[in-house]
C-alpha cells in the first residue's frame, strides 16, 4: 500500500503527463513564443558520409490474418500482411510509385517460421499460420505459396520497388536451452525459392538472412555468431551458383538484429570478405507503444541523441574489420509492439523519424527501412484506408530532396533545433533539414558556407562568408491546428491530402530570397533547398 509520499509522487508524475498531453493539443498560436536568432555553418568542402541513392525504405511484414484473435496483439490489422494484403489497390500502388524507386524490405519476426511451397524442403507440409501458445513466437509454421510470390513480384515490378527479402534462417535448427538454437541450417527450401526466383527472372536486390537472432538481444530465438557465419557461407555459395549467369548478383544482408558489438564483430571476422554486403540492425529506441511516458521522448533532444552510439559503434566495426560491407537499418519503428496509438501515425512521430534519417545518414548508413509500409500503428499508410500519414510525406520529401552526400553542420544555436545538410538530390546546391522540438521558441537562422580558398581566392583560407544567391525553396511541415497528435500534416500551411483520383498531391515549395534569414516555427519541420549554395564536396 502506498504511503503519502508515494501518492504525492504518483500525483506529480500524473500531472506532468497531463501537461504534456495538454501541450500536444494546444495550438501554437496560443503559447507565448520566444524568437532565437542564430548562425549555422555548413562545410561544403567535403562530404562526411554517403547514403545509397535509395536510402528510404519501408517494410512489409508477415503477421498473419488471424493475429488479432489474440487480444494483447490486436494492434495489427488483419489484412496488412504481405501474405494477404490487396496488392491490386490503386491507392497502394500510387503511394509506392510516387517514390519512383522505393526500397521495400519483406520480413519480420515470422520470417523464421515461413516455409515456401516449392522444392523438397517443404515436403508437402505448407499450411497457413495458426496461433498456437507455447510454440516459437506462439505460431505454427506458415506458408508462402508460389502464387503469392508471383503476385508480390508483379507488384514490385509494377511499382518500381527495390526488394530485400528475408529468408528463414532457423529451418533445420533445434532449441537446446532457453532461447538458444543450434544445428546447421537446412538450406534446401530457401535454395528452391531462390532457384524459382532466378528462373522467373524476378529482380530481388538482396536476400536477408534471419530476423533478430543475434546475441543477447535476440527475440524468441538466438543463434551463435559462429553458427550464423557458417550458415551465411552456405548462402553465399548458393547465390554464387544460382546467379552465375545473371547480369546482376543480389546482395546478402544480415543479420537483421538488434546491435551487439561483440556478436557483430565475431560475425564479420568469421565470414570474411565479400560474404555479407550489408550489416543490418534494428532500432526501437522510443520504448513500448503502450508506455504512458512515450510522448515525452519525441521532444527530448537528449533522449533522441542516445541512439547515435549504436550508429557510431557499427560504423567503427565496418571501418576496422569489414570495409567491404555497409551499414543498413533493416527495421525501425520507433516504438515497439506495433507502435503507439495516436502517436506513431501522427505528426509528433515525424520528430523521431526524420531525426533518425538525418542522424543515420551522418554515420554512413546506406539504407534506412521504416517499419512499416502498412501495418500496426507505425505504418506510413493507414491499414484500412491506405491514406498516408505525416511520416509518409516526410519520407517522400527526404527522398526527393536530400541527395546521397552528407555534409558537416556546425549548430551551436540550440539542442532543440536538429539540423542536417545533404547535397541536393539531382541538382546543384545543398538541402537542409531542420526539426524544431521546442514548443516555445521560434528560430531565425542565418546559413553560412565554410568556404575554401579554391572557391574564392579573395577570401582567407577556411573563412566563412554568407551565401550569395537569388531564391531558395522552403517546405515547412506543421501539424493541423498546431496539434502534435494530428493525423494531418500541413505543407506551407496547406493540408496534404490525396486527390480525388487517389494521387499523391504535389509537394509545392514557397520561395524566399537566398540571402534572407530562415524562420523555423516552434514544433515544426522544414526542408530548405539552396540551389546556389557553393559546395565543392557535392561535385
Tens of pLDDT, residues 463-500: 444 444 479 999 999 999 999 999 999 999 999 999 99
Torsion, Cα 191 330 393 19, to 10 degrees, reads: 140
Which cell numbers hold the place of 487? 493525423
Instruction: Assess whether pLDDT exceeds 80 at residue 287.
Output: yes
pLDDT band at 67 (very low <50, low <70, confident <90, very high): low
Shared fold status for 34-47+411-457+469-538 and 51-404 = no
Task: Assign 457 to helix, strand or coil.
Answer: coil
Catalytic residues: 212, 331
Distance CA(89)–CA(99), nearest Å, equals 17
Q: Do residues 537 and 47 lie in contact, with contact meaning Cβ atoms separated by under 8 Å?
A: yes
Annotate 395-451 with DSSP letters as a single string.
HHHHHHHEEEEEEEEEE-S-TTEEEEEEEETTSSSEEEEEEE--SSEEEEEEEEEE-
Instruction: Assess whether pLDDT exceeds 80 at residue 3.
Output: no
CATH code of the region 51-404: 3.20.20.80
Mean pLDDT of 143-171: 98
Query: C-alpha 48: how far from its chain's center?
Result: 21
Domain layout of the chain by residue ranges:
34-47+411-457+469-538, 51-404
| Structure confidence at residue 425 (pLDDT) | 98
Q: Do residues 169 and 218 lie in contact, with contact meaning Cβ atoms separated by under 8 Å?
A: no
Q: 34-47+411-457+469-538 has which fold?
A: Immunoglobulin-like (2.60.40)
Query: Where do runs of H (alpha helix) occur along 222-372?
Result: 225-242, 261-271, 294-297, 301-305, 308-321, 349-362
Annotate 463-503 with DSSP letters as a single string.
-EEEPP-SEEEEEEEEEGGG-TT-S-EEETTEE----TTSP
Q: Do residues 440 and 33 lie in contact, with contact meaning Cβ atoms separated by under 8 Å?
A: yes
pLDDT band at 121 (very low <50, low <70, confident <90, very high): low
pLDDT band at 179 (very low <50, low <70, confident <90, very high): very high
Distance CA(333)–CA(61), nearest Å, equals 12
pLDDT band at 66 (very low <50, low <70, confident <90, very high): low
Instruction: Assess whether pLDDT exceeds 50 at residue 27.
Output: no
CA distances from 8 to 5, 13, 291, 292 (A): 5, 9, 21, 18
Instruction: Output 29 or 243, whichever has higher pLDDT.
Output: 243
Instruction: Assess whether pLDDT exceeds 70 at residue 30.
Output: no
Annotate 144-156 with DSSP letters as a single string.
E-HHHHHHHHHHH
Per-residue model confidence as pLDDT tens digits over 351-395? 999 999 999 999 999 999 999 999 999 999 998 899 999 999 999
| Structure confidence at residue 464 (pLDDT) | 44
Mean pLDDT, the chain, rounded, equals: 90
Residue reference for cell 549467369: 245
- Output the pTM of the full model: 0.91
Instruction: Assess whether pLDDT exceeds 70 at residue 233.
Output: yes
Distance CA(372)–CA(386), nearest Å, equals 12
Angle at 166 between CA 151 and CA 211, to 5 degrees: 145
Distance CA(69)–CA(442), nearest Å, equals 47
| Structure confidence at residue 32 (pLDDT) | 62
Mean pLDDT of 202-218: 96
| Structure confidence at residue 451 (pLDDT) | 58
Instruction: Assess whether pLDDT exceeds 70 at residue 340.
Output: yes
| Structure confidence at residue 71 (pLDDT) | 54
Amino acid at each position: 500500500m502506498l504511503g503519502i509520499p508515494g501518492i504525492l509522487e504518483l500525483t506529480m508524475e500524473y500531472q506532468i503527463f497531463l501537461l504534456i498531453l495538454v501541450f500536444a493539443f494546444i495550438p501554437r498560436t496560443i503559447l507565448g513564443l520566444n524568437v532565437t536568432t542564430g548562425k549555422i555553418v555548413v562545410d561544403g568542402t567535403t562530404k562526411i558520409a554517403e547514403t545509397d541513392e535509395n536510402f528510404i525504405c519501408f517494410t512489409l511484414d508477415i503477421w498473419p490474418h488471424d493475429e488479432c484473435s489474440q487480444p494483447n496483439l490486436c494492434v495489427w490489422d488483419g489484412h496488412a500482411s504481405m501474405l494477404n494484403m490487396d496488392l491490386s489497390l490503386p491507392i497502394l500502388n500510387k503511394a509506392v510509385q510516387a517514390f519512383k524507386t522505393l526500397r521495400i524490405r519483406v520480413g519480420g519476426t515470422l520470417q523464421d517460421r515461413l516455409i515456401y511451397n516449392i522444392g523438397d524442403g517443404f515436403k508437402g507440409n505448407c499450411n497457413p499460420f495458426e496461433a498456437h501458445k507455447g510454440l516459437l513466437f506462439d505460431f505454427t509454421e506458415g506458408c508462402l505459396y508460389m502464387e503469392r510470390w508471383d503476385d508480390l513480384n508483379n507488384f514490385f515490378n509494377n511499382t518500381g520497388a527495390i526488394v530485400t527479402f528475408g529468408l528463414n534462417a532457423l529451418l533445420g535448427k533445434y532449441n537446446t536451452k532457453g532461447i538458444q538454437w543450434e544445428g546447421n541450417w537446412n538450406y534446401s527450401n530457401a535454395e528452391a525459392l531462390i532457384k524459382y526466383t532466378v528462373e522467373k527472372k524476378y529482380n530481388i536486390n538482396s536476400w536477408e538472412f534471419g530476423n533478430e537472432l543475434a546475441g543477447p538481444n535476440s527475440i524468441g530465438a538466438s543463434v551463435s555468431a559462429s553458427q550464423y557465419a557458417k550458415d551465411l557461407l552456405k548462402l553465399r555459395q548458393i547465390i554464387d551458383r544460382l546467379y552465375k549467369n545473371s547480369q546482376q548478383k543480389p546482395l546478402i544482408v544480415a543479420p537483421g538484429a538488434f546491435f551487439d558489438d561483440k556478436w557483430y564483430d565475431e560475425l564479420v571476422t568469421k565470414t570474411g570478405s565479400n560474404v555479407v554486403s550489408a550489416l543490418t540492425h534494428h532500432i526501437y529506441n522510443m520504448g513500448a507503444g503502450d508506455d504512458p511516458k512515450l510522448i515525452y521522448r519525441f521532444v527530448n533532444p537528449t533522449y533522441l541523441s542516445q541512439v547515435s552510439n549504436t550508429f557510431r559503434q557499427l560504423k567503427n566495426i565496418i571501418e576496422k574489420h569489414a570495409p567491404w560491407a555497409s551499414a543498413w537499418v533493416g527495421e525501425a519503428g520507433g516504438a515497439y509492439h506495433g507502435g503507439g496509438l495516436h502517436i506513431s501515425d501522427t505528426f509528433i512521430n515525424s520528430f523521431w523519424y526524420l531525426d533518425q534519417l538525418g542522424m543515420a545518414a551522418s554515420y554512413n548508413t546506406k539504407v534506412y527501412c521504416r517499419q512499416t509500409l502498412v501495418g500496426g500503428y507505425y505504418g506510413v499508410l493507414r491499414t484500412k484506408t491506405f491514406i498516408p500519414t505525416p511520416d509518409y510525406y516526410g519520407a517522400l520529401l527526404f527522398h526527393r530532396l536530400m541527395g546521397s552526400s552528407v555534409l558537416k553542420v556546425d549548430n551551436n544555436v540550440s539542442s532543440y533545433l536538429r539540423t542536417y545538410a545533404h547535397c541536393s538530390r539531382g541538382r546543384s546546391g545543398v538541402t537542409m533539414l531542420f526539426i524544431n522540438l521546442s514548443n516555445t521558441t521560434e528560430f531565425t537562422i542565418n546559413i553560412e558556407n565554410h568556404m575554401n580558398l579554391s572557391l574564392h581566392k579573395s577570401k582567407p583560407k577556411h573563412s566563412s562568408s554568407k551565401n550569395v544567391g537569388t531564391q531558395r525553396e522552403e517546405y515547412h511541415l506543421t501539424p493541423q491546428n498546431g496539434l502534435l497528435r494530428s493525423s494531418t500534416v500541413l505543407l506551407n500551411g496547406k493540408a496534404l491530402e490525396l486527390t480525388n483520383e487517389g494521387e499523391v498531391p504535389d509537394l509545392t515549395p514557397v520561395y524566399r530570397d537566398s540571402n534572407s534569414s530562415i524562420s523555423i516555427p516552434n514544433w515544426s519541420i522544414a526542408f530548405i533547398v539552396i540551389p546556389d549554395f557553393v559546395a565543392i564536396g557535392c561535385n
